[in-house]
Amino acid sequence: MTAFALLVVGLIVGSFLNVLSIRYKEGGRIFTKDTLVGRSACRKCGKNLAWYELLPIISFAIQLGKCRKCRAKLSWQYPLIEILCAGWTLLIPIFLFNFFHIRALGLSATQLWPFFLFVGAWTLVGYTLVLMSLIDLRLSIIPDQINVFLLFLGAVVVALKAMFASIFIHSGSFLGPYGSFLEILSNVWLASIAAAILAAMIFGAIILISRGQGMGMGDLKLIFPLGLVVGWPDVILVISLSFIIGSLISLPSLLMDKKKLKSAVPFGPFIALAVFATIIGGQVIAQWYFALI
């Protein structure tokens, strides 16, 4: 029953994020009357959608991915984001429970409130990165509101790791024991702030060297709060993976279309993918890397 409830919540959140990303206007605020209120409508014919046309995944499947009135094809973004958010909502609690060996601690449910809060914070981080990616892909901008919210979530995550070190082993690093091995500062707050500053300095240097062609200020403003969220040394893996993922996805398409070589490629989604990869596979990647050297 709990798993089903989490899936439903994730589907609803995914549907909501789709709406927010589409209704958001450049330079505006994410949560406004225009984005939160009003009937959803077909983007082709303008038909207002009934409640049964807005059911996550189900409506898309029943309508065969088309508008009921004009039969225009609906974007696959809708079901994909809904499925992604449902999967994240269901799996992140399970993953974190196993990763930090919560069962072995033998704590009661009332004693686990820091862990539940930690799960909630990371769940929101995932949702925020999805919304950021959708907006960046559509408008090539990253709203400042998203960065501010990530900064708040980062403060929550760091505070929990600092106050409950017995629960969040290896300073809460997703590199596992390799996180402890690479530890420079024992104080979690100082290490996380240093990670954020280092990440911003790296991105800032790229912007200066490329004169803004290789990366935008929006990416710099994004990586700072994310550096606080993931902390040290995870931030190094996030930065490395973001460039690797960006290269693997962007270069083939750019090389096949030389006219687009000078066009800007939104980098925010690559950073988001790097964060997800670090959370889920950080320890495995670190183990593989140290085995090579």
pLDDT in tens, 245-280: 999 988 777 676 654 545 667 999 999 999 999 999
* Average pLDDT over every residue of 139-157: 96
Please give the average per-residue pLDDT across 57-83, as a whole number.
Answer: 87
Q: Once rounded to an integer, what is the mean pLDDT over residues 230-242?
A: 97
Q: Which amino acid is at 180?
A: S
Please, what sign has the CA dihedral across residues 180, 153, 78, 95?
positive
Q: Given the structure tokens 């990165």, which residue do they identify?
A: 129
Provide the pLDDT for residue 257. Answer: 66
Confidence at residue 259, expressed as pLDDT on a 0 to 100 scale: 47
pTM score above 0.85? yes
How confident is the model at residue 73, as a pLDDT?
87
pLDDT of residue 12: 95
In this prediction, residue 263 carries a pLDDT of: 60
Burial of 140 (0-12, 13-18, 19+ CB in 10 A): middle
DSSP category for residue 32: S
**Residue 33 pLDDT greater than 80, yes or no:** no
Residues 159, 152 contacting (CB under 8 angstroms): no
Least confident window among 91-95, 172-176, 260-264, 279-283 = 260-264
With cut-offs at 50, 70 and 90, classify the pLDDT of residue 139.
very high
The larger pLDDT score, comparing residue 280 to residue 216, is at 280
Report the distance separating Cα 137 and Cα 156, nearest Å: 28
pLDDT in tens, 111-127: 899 999 999 999 999 99
CB within 8 Å of 213: residues ≥ 6 apart? none
Backbone dihedral angles phi then psi of residue 261, each to the nearest 5 degrees: -60, -30
What's the mean pLDDT when you consider all of the chain?
A: 89
Does the pLDDT of residue 5 top 80, yes or no? yes
DSSP tag of 37: S
Q: Which of 127-136, 140-149, 209-218 has the lowest mean pLDDT?
A: 209-218
Residue 282 pLDDT level (bands cut at 50, 70, 90): very high
The band of 50, judged by pLDDT with boundaries at 50, 70 and 90, is confident
pLDDT of 262 reads: 52
Least trusted range by pLDDT, from 5-9, 71-75, 89-93: 71-75
Are the C-beta atoms of 57 and 48 separated by less than 8 Å?
no
pLDDT at 185: 85
* Cβ atoms < 10 Å from Cβ of 68: 15
* Residue predicted with more confidence, 237 or 41: 237
**For residue 180, what pLDDT is reported?**
84
Helix axes 2-23, 113-139, angle to 10 degrees: 30
Chain CA centroid to CA 222, Å = 11
Helices of type H across 24-112:
33-36, 58-62, 77-99, 102-105
Q: What are 41's strand-pairing partners?
A: 48
